[in-house]
Amino acid sequence: MADKIATRASYGRALVELGAENPDIVVLDADLSGSTQTKKFADKYPDRFFNAGIAEENMVGMAAGLALSGKIPFCSSFAMFASGRAWELIRNAVVHNRANVKICASHAGITVGADGATHQCVEDLAIMRAIPKMTVINPADDVSARKLIKQAAEMNGPCYIRLGRAACPVVYDEDVNVEIGKALTVREGLDFTVIATGIMVEKAMEAAELLAAEGIQIRILDMHTIKPIDKEAIIHAALETNGIVTAEEHNIVGGLGSAVAEVVCTCAPCKMAMIGVKDRMGESAEPDQLIEKYGLTGKDIAEAVKSLR
């Protein structure tokens, strides 16, 4: 895990590759192409790139029209603006019309860092998964991000893909088998299960090493698809281990923890704990400082696992 790559950079690379493979791929951006990395696509395929300006609602409306005309549009902005400002258009123009639009939102979570609370979106997974029939994806690293983005291009239907600003460790080899809607087993274990998403997968791996030193073996599931969530993997974890800890760089209200709890309480009740942002706003600081302050470290996950004993 020596390499660190931001998943927004993975997005830029995937778009260029998709553009070469499929002439129907088009990309829209809300005047943030340098930050979202869509500039790479714009430089390569300028006739298929549209800068909507600082007007996210218009961008999504344009994308819906392009999708209904047979194109496969990828819409890009910061998570705060894509999921916040444009929510009504995503709901009504895209999902209600079953338009094949991919909303790819970068700069999600508190690891946006110094930009502070106004730009640190910790609500996007909740508000996107609340939209009927919306697929919601949160990759863990560069490899899984590129694979999931390409799968999103192949599927017919709207989806939301959460991407990060900060460089994060590459946890997977290129040959990893990652599939939309299927949790990825990162580590086997029968004592407890940690279900993590996004950058918290790597933190769960850190927790596993800390716990192994104490004789506790945990199963780690990368729940990269928040919706549709892999119910079967959750039920197996609830029945086969002694409890579940969820880990997300997102508000614990409405995010991964809530989604897992919905499955657990209806299908296989078990002990649970949730690691995430505890229903509060972000603040300005370096990403590592915020991870520590908000209790999102590997040590925090390990302590949550031990609390279930």
pLDDT tens digits, one per residue of 30-58? 999 999 999 999 999 999 999 999 999 99
Do residues 44 and 165 both lie within one domain? yes
* Position 278 in a domain: yes
| 69 exposure class (CB count in 10 Å sphere: 0-12, 13-18, 19+) | exposed
Do 136 and 284 share a domain, yes or no? no
Question: Mean pLDDT score of the chain, rounded to an integer?
Answer: 97
231 inside domain = yes
pLDDT average, residue stretch 181-209: 98
Residues 286, 220 share a domain: yes
Alpha-carbon distance 169 to 180, whole Å? Answer: 21
Q: How confident is the model at residue 2 (pLDDT cuts 50, 70, 90)?
A: low
Mean pLDDT of 237-253: 98
Residue 177 located in a structural domain = no
The active-site residue out of 56, 123, 248, 249 is 56
The continuous run of DSSP H or E covering 200 comes out as: helix 200-212
The model's pTM is 0.97
Do 112 and 209 have their domain in common?
A: no
Residues 111 and 291: beta-carbon distance below 8 Å: yes
**How high is the pLDDT of residue 40?**
97
**185, pLDDT greater than 80:** yes
Which of 56, 130, 146 is closest to 95 using CA atoms?
130
Domains in the chain, number: 2
User: Is 221 among the domain residues?
Assistant: yes
Per-residue pLDDT tens digits for 82-113? 999 999 999 999 999 999 999 999 999 999 99
Residue 175 within any structural domain of the chain? no
Domain holding 39: CATH number?
3.40.50.970
Tokens of 133: 């029939």
Using pLDDT thresholds of 50, 70 and 90, give the confidence band for residue 178: very high
Q: Do 214 and 284 have their domain in common?
A: yes
| CA 233/CA 195 separation, integer angstroms | 10
**Do 154 and 188 belong to one domain?**
no
| 167 has a pLDDT exceeding 90 | yes
Task: Examine residue 19 and state whether it is found in any structural domain, yes or no.
Answer: yes
Residue 94: the pLDDT is: 98
Instruction: Mark whether 249 is an active-site residue.
Output: no
Structural domain contains residue 179: no
Residues of the domain holding 223? 184-306
* Predicted confidence (pLDDT) at residue 7 exceeds the cutoff of 80: yes
226 and 98 within one domain: no
pLDDT value of residue 19: 97
Residues 25 and 63 in one domain: yes
Residue 71 pLDDT exceeds 70: yes
Mark whether 105 and 209 lie in a shared domain. Answer: no
What is the CATH classification number for the domain harbouring 240?
3.40.50.920
Percent of the chain scoring above 70 in pLDDT = 99
Which residue, of 169, 194, 213, is where some domain finishes?
169
Give a yes or no: residue 236 inside a domain.
yes
Q: Looking at the structure, do residues 130 and 246 belong to the same domain, yes or no?
A: no
Phi-psi region of 37 (alpha: psi -120 to 50; beta: other; left: phi over 0): left
The verdict on 280 and 194 lying in the same domain is yes
Instruction: Please tell me whether residues 146 and 192 are part of one structural domain.
Output: no
